[in-house]
Amino acid sequence: MNVGFQFSNTVEYEILELIAEGGMGSVYKAIQRGAGLFEKTVALKVIREEFSSIKPFRDNFIGEGKLVADLIHTNIVQIYNLGKNTEQQYFMVMEYVNGINLDEFMVFHLEKKARVPIDIAVFIVSRLCRGLAYAHKKRNTNGELLGIVHRDVNPKNIMLSLEGDVKLTDFGIAKALNLMYNKEGKVIAGKDEYLSPEQARREITDERADIFPCGIVLSELLLGENIFADEDPEQTIQNILEKPLPDYPKVRPEIDDRLHVILKKALTRDREERYQNAEEMLNALELYIYGDGYGPTNEKLAEYLKDYISPEKYKASGLTTRSDMI
12-21/25-33 β-pairing: antiparallel
148 forms bridges with which residues in the sheet? none
**Are 79 and 63 within 8 A, CB to CB?**
no
Answer whether residue 7 shows pLDDT above 70: no
Mean pLDDT of the chain: 85
* Identified catalytic residue from 59, 103, 119, 152: 152
Q: Could you say which DSSP state residue 309 is in? A: S
CA 235/CA 67 separation, integer angstroms: 33
Contacts of 264 (CB under 8 A, 6+ apart): 245
**Are 206 and 243 within 8 A, CB to CB?**
no
* Of 37 and 322, the one with more pLDDT: 37
Percentage, residues of the chain above pLDDT 70 = 85
E-assigned strand segments in 169-311 = none
Q: Is the alpha carbon torsion for 155, 161, 164, 170 positive or negative?
A: negative
Q: Which residue pairs from 71-75 have beta carbons closer than 8 angstroms and sit at least 24 positions apart in sequence? A: 71/134, 71/135, 71/138, 71/148, 71/171, 73/130, 73/131, 73/134, 73/135, 74/130, 74/131, 74/165, 74/167, 75/127, 75/128, 75/130, 75/131, 75/134, 75/165, 75/166, 75/167, 75/168
Query: Residue 221, Cβ neighbours under 10 Å: how many?
Result: 22
pLDDT value, residue 204: 86
Q: Where are the domains of the chain?
A: 12-95, 99-316
**Known catalytic membership, residue 152:** yes
What counts of helices (H) and strands (E) characterise the chain? 12, 8
Tell me: domain 12-95, CATH 3.40.50.2300, correct? no
**Which pLDDT tens digit goes with each residue over 266-318?**
999 999 999 999 999 999 999 999 998 889 999 999 999 987 665 555 554 44
**Which pLDDT tens digit goes with each residue over 90-143?**
888 999 999 999 999 999 899 889 999 999 999 999 999 999 999 999 998 889
* Of 162 and 176, the one with more pLDDT: 162
Whats the size of the chain, residue-wise?
326
pLDDT value, residue 306: 83
What architecture does CATH give domain 99-316? Orthogonal Bundle (1.10)
**Which pLDDT tens digit goes with each residue over 168-204?**
998 765 665 555 455 555 555 567 899 999 999 988 8
pLDDT value, residue 6: 47
Q: Stretch 232-237: mean pLDDT, rounded?
A: 95
